[in-house]
Structure 1
Amino acid sequence: MLDLGVIDRTDDRPPYRQIASALRKHITSGKLAPGEKLPSEAELIDHFGVARMTVRQAVQELRGEGLVVAEHGKGVYVRSVPPVRRLASDRFARQHRQEGKAAFLVEAEALGRKPTVDQISISTEVVSAQMAERLKLPEDARVVIRSRRYLNDGVPVEVATSYIPESIAGGTAITSTDSGPGGIYARIEEQGHELLRFTEEVSARMPTPEERKVLQIGAGVPVITLVRTAFDADDVPVEVCDTVKVSHAYVLQYDFPAR
């Protein structure tokens, strides 16, 4: 049994938060390693001398923070999702597309993870006012909308929705479930739009109920939002990708010159 201390009755925090704090300390220090099982309810009840509901409240707080996951009939385990380091200077390199690899595949394989994509949905719609402004399209233009969920080793880490002008994406594999080797950027370049640059807008917020469900995270786990715009050689926007990322699954690393 871990050294979890005891309940301090003079502490202003309720007992369940003290228990959560003790467990959290062992998780963040690595004494409870990713994938390791937490002490059982019975063990925690016996150790702290509290009611079952108090222990369950403590575990629920940790679940809400995304630190642990419960497996029905087995117990509660420390979440084992490693960070994915995104290298802004490299992940969209043309070399990767020529090798038939999309950015997410490059990122995951660099860490030895098994990447998968599911929940793919594709539609063609009249562009929204906001997206028309970003893509510099007329208000009656149509865009192909491609949404998908990305997983590392079977664990959801992000959902992404791309908006591409129908004049570029129509009739290509971008409108198919499998967009082909190199992903949608390879298909865009095949249409004569050689990519020149990308811009990214990064922010953070709490997830919506739907995002929590899709990403399988607790209400207390924040998400990173990243909106990327791709420009072709004529500096015309050819795609906008709106991505929602699980905050603890990513480290965003950017390299840029000091000038």
Structure 2
Amino acid sequence: MQLAFTIAAAVLVGAVLVAVFDPWRWGEGPEAVALGNRLFGTLQVGAICGTVIGLQYGVAGMDSLTRVGKRLNLQRKVQHVASGVIILFLFHVLPLQTSQLALGASVVAFALVQLARHLSTEMDEQFLALFGPMLKEEERQGIRPPAAVHFLTGCFLCSVTFPRQLAVLGMMTSTFADPLAAVGGLCLGGPQLFGRSNKTLSGSATCCLAGGALAAAALDAVAACLACGAAAALSEFSGGIWWYLDDNLTASFGTGLVLSGAGAALASVGFESPAFNVILR
């Protein structure tokens, strides 16, 4: 029932977004053709939303991951990385506007489910029965939305705010560097940063190295890789400073903001940086 409700909500939101924003160019053809194109676009967005949301249900059913990697919350990490990989793939192969609509529709669909949790005790119990093992305590209590909402919101904001290459870099940081930071912090330990129990020096260092490595895979400038690693670590660390911030959001959108802000600051004082030119092109 939950899966049907969620996918139906995603399809409905996708249909509304397509109807309102009309991203496809229908041309001057017959009305029947234009209507067919509109319907196809609506179904395409709905199918993408259903795929992204359906993945959450698939991973939630893998109880063995919880038993094997309970300390690392391996089930949550697999769900996180798998979702990011699918989004990055779709962002690469689909038209930009289609990707933006699908991400936006997914965010709204997840928000609708979160609203349903607050309005219905039964819905909340069903949600926790399926997703509870992957959630943090504050997410189970409904104090904060599940990480998937923050993650999708960050990817959506990246897609509509930054140039394509910077948007991809932000999404890659959130998909890979953020969960690796958590693994590094748990496995390596080390001193806490500024008294925050969930942020350690080893975790930030892991995120920095992972962010630099991801940039190295996408860019060809060493200085750019160093800048990306530092931006990734800073953005991941900023998650949780305020209650409404989450590192699933700041790791992607925050990385893009830091890099674009640094590039703009350098340009304002007349400093030409080849590294930032590579990142922001």
TM-score (norm 2): 0.27
TM-score (norm 1): 0.29
For the pair shown, which has the larger CA radius of gyration, 1 or 2? 1
Instruction: Give the number of the structure whose residues are more often strand, by fraction.
Output: 1
